[in-house]
Structure 1
Amino acid sequence: MKTKQINHLLLAMFVAVITSCSSESDTTTPSTDITVPSTSEIPAVYTKIYGATSITSDGTYITIKSTGLPDHKSVYYPTTNALYENFSGTTFGGNTFKKNPNTITARTYTFKIPLNPVVSSTHAATPLGAMGVAINGIPLYNQYAAPNTPLTDEVISFDQYRGHPTGTGSYHYHVEPLYLTNVKVTKSSLLGFLLDGFPVYGPEENGKEVTNDMLDAYHGHTAVTADYPNGIYHYHINNTDPYINGSGYYGTPGTVTQ
């Protein structure tokens, strides 16, 4: 009999402990200190960079990723590529086209540009290589073929849309990208951004051709555009040297890797 009483007592104590633990668990309040990551809002103008594989923002910089593959036909694609198209005849500046030996290959570009660009006091020189990105994800290059060497001997190799690849297969534009200005958008449209975050527009504005004497030393000016109704400093691409950018960046450049 005593054994049964002891067993009943032990069982009652066990149930009491379980009930107590369950009650404590039910009243525990979850921590509210968890930080949920969020993506900063991306201004609508950057969605015009339709050739990007991704566009993100940390609130200070816009990060644009691209493969650097043109979305138009080119004689520089491998002949097995659906976008290969033979080209001969006249190219930029009325020159007779002469194909360079290079072939377009995919890259892994990451352009990091200021979200809110401001004028710089130093105006850093643009590099040989990518100094900005066009809306189709293609890099924009400056007016030089090599350090302080003009494009004189390179322009003959610009394809039907006025681009060409480097020896490592990096396709790029030095001058007006005709596929954009004649097919995708217009000659007065947004064509891209330089690494300092300032936009690049085509060779026309308000129905008129933009000439170099209308632009400053950096190949730009401040004016209202369709994308910036309050006005903004912006560059213009035209067909006169220096084509896209003059004496360096107007603002402080971000970075580009590939």
Structure 2
Amino acid sequence: MKKTSALFFLMGVVALQAQTNPAITKFLQNTTGITGRHYVAGNATPITDAVQANVQSVHYNATYSFVSATGIPAYITGPFQDGNPSLAAAQNKIFRIPLAPTQNTGTPTPTNAGNIGVFINGVALFDYRDGVAWNNSTMALCGGPGNPPCPGGPGTTQAWNRDAIPAERAGFDCAKAHPAMGNYHHHQNPSAFNLDLVVLSNVCDTYPSDGLYVINPNQHSPLLGFAYDGFPIYGAYGYINTNGTGAITRMKSSYQLKNQTTRTNGPAVNQVLGAQTFFNGYFREDYEYIAHPGDPTYLDEHNGRFCVTPEYPNGIYCYFTTVDANHNSEYPYAVGPTFYGNVVVTTVTSVPAGATQYNQPLSTASLDDSNFKVVVAPNPAQEFIAIQTNTTENDLSVELIDELGKIVKTSKIVQGSTLCVLETDTLYNGVYIIKISDAKNVTAKKVIISK
């Protein structure tokens, strides 16, 4: 093959990758200039930040995609009501992600403290831990704010490592996330607390936000991001069969709590120390892996499976953000406690020379599309109405219209978000119309205000 022919062949292959490889095409690029927003405790009006949200650019070559992101989401962050003084701050990272991730055929690599994945909006994924553990020598907790250091120093794995999800719930915002020294991250399924079937935190009542997606038990969950081995992370629901057929079903964790009353070299189950009760599930090591051969809805020891998805019609290994039947987060939450693949994702200081920029096309989704869902709740409404949609790639205008055709409230669902909230406590009882529109299409929902 002549050099010129080989060059054109390579360019064609790379162009095809850009058209089809989700590690290039699925990142949510900021095309509207939307910036981050945050709440502070005691103020239910969000503050607009000067930092752009979502992903700023995506480049690629024949081997990797290069994703530049601030780490700030479009959905509103904060407040963090457990004494965490930090706010979500720009991280300005460039993630290098393999276009063809590979299985690790040797000893699995454990997940680590800090970033273990990146969501499609550039926000970080952490694993289960929060840096606090049990020191059996002192018979007390170590690590984290207010505790003495753990043996071996920060990040060292101990015999009993605290699970961040139950331990830090009071410090998560409505989107189930919080910052570590400014690095805003999710440990778990990134959907809002108040959208779970059983609500475990009331933070959304005063400080509403949304998260990255809305759980819909009737459709395959979207691709949410990529683990640091390059394999994709999906939401909570998928096809029952690994070949992409059958009903939509919840993907289940194969980890369960041990039947135990004691912990070797650790506190007894339900032991009380000061204000802390060490219940079963307080530590990651309270769980054990139980295989479920023959049932494809149970995930493997890494919290994933090989399967066909809408983005990968030929199949790929996928992680899922596991939840229980009430849609509450379920250990190991996303990825872990070990990776399936070779951990090769890293951050770089610059995009390499010769990489091609991927320009995300304008969304062609129609509001009349059967896949576009709009949920209005509560209905009837009293003090507020929440309007929830799919994650949107463009801003959507929202108008509340009374029976006389007068627009009485306006808002917006911004790019990369799914939610807006309209305050209705000053409106009269009656029937109203909520109109949601983009540049081309309009859809409407009826809502009743009854106080």
Distance 1:255 1:117, change over 3 A: closer
User: What does residue 181 of structure 1 align with?
Assistant: 213
Letter matched to residue 118 of structure 1:
T
Identity of aligned residues (%): 34
Deviations 1:92-149 (A, max 9, x none): xxxxx64522111111112112210111023212221111111111011111112433
Using CA pairs below 8 Å that are at least 6 residues apart, which structure has the higher relative contact order?
1
Alpha-carbon separation, structure 1, partners of 2:74 and 2:320: 22
Q: CA RMSD in A?
A: 2.6
Residues 237, 244 of structure 1: 8 Å contact kept: yes
* 1:137 pairs with one of 122, 127, 130: 122
Q: Which sections of structure 2, spanning at least 5 residues, go unmatched?
A: 29-53, 132-156, 192-210, 240-247, 255-297, 323-328, 349-451
Change (3 A) 1:123 1:65: farther
Do structure 1's residue 159 and structure 2's residue 173 form an aligned pair? yes
1:116 matches 2:200: no
| 3-state SS of paired residue (1:212) | coil
Matched residue, 2:339: 249
1:143-222 equivalence runs, <5 A: 143-146=128-131, 147=157, 148-151=161-164, 152-167=166-181, 169-178=182-191, 179-182=211-214, 188-206=221-239, 207-213=248-254, 214-222=298-306
Q: 1:125 aligns with which of 95, 110, 119?
A: 110
Tell me, in whole angstroms, the C-alpha distance in 1 between the residues paired with 2:68 and 2:109: 23
CA displacement 1:25-76 (0-9 Å, x = unmatched): xxxxxxx9xx99x794324423221032222222122221210011111224
Matched, 1:47 2:25: yes
Q: Distance in 1 between matches of 2:99 and 2:347?
A: 18
Give the letter for the 2:184 counterpart: Y
Partner Cα distance (1:52, 1:140) in 2: 15
Tell me by how many angstroms 1:187 deviates: 6.7
Q: Does residue 106 in structure 1 map to residue 78 in structure 2?
A: no
- 1:33-44 matches, within 5 Å, as 40-41=14-15, 42=18, 43-44=20-21
Say if 1:109 and 1:256, in contact at 8 Å, map to a contact too.
no
Q: Secondary structure at the match of 1:156?
A: helix
1:81-101 deviations in Å (ceiling 9; x for gaps) = xxxxxx8xxxxxxxxx64522
Worse-superposed segment, 131-140 or 248-257: 248-257
Measured in 2, the distance between the counterparts of 1:187 and 1:109 equals 30
Which letter maps to 2:303? Answer: H
The answer to whether the aligner puts 1:73 opposite 2:65 as a matched pair is no
Following superposition, the deviation at residue 228 of structure 1 comes to: 0.6
- Cα distance between partner residues in 2 of 1:53 and 1:125: 30
Determine if contact 2:303/2:335 at 8 Å carries over to the other structure. yes
Tell me if structure 2 keeps the 8 A contact 1:220–1:233: yes
> Quick check: which one's strand share is greater?
2
CA contact (8 A) 1:219 1:244 kept: yes
TM-score (norm 1): 0.71
The C-alpha deviation readout for 1:191-215, integer Å capped at 9, x for no partner, is 0001111000001113211111300
Contact persistence 1:113–1:253 (CA under 8 A): no
Instruction: Determine if contact 1:48/1:135 at 8 Å carries over to the other structure.
Output: yes
- SS where residue 217 of structure 1 aligns? coil
Kept after mapping to 1: 8 A contact 2:21/2:99: no
More helix by share: 1
- Higher-Rg member (1/2): 1
Aligned length: 203
| Alignment partner of 1:224 is 2:308 | yes
Query: Is 2:230–2:345's contact at 8 Å kept on the other side of the alignment?
Result: no
Matched letter for residue 139 of structure 1: A
More deviation in 46-55 or 197-206?
46-55
* Structure 1 portions without partners, runs of 5+: 1-31, 77-86, 88-96
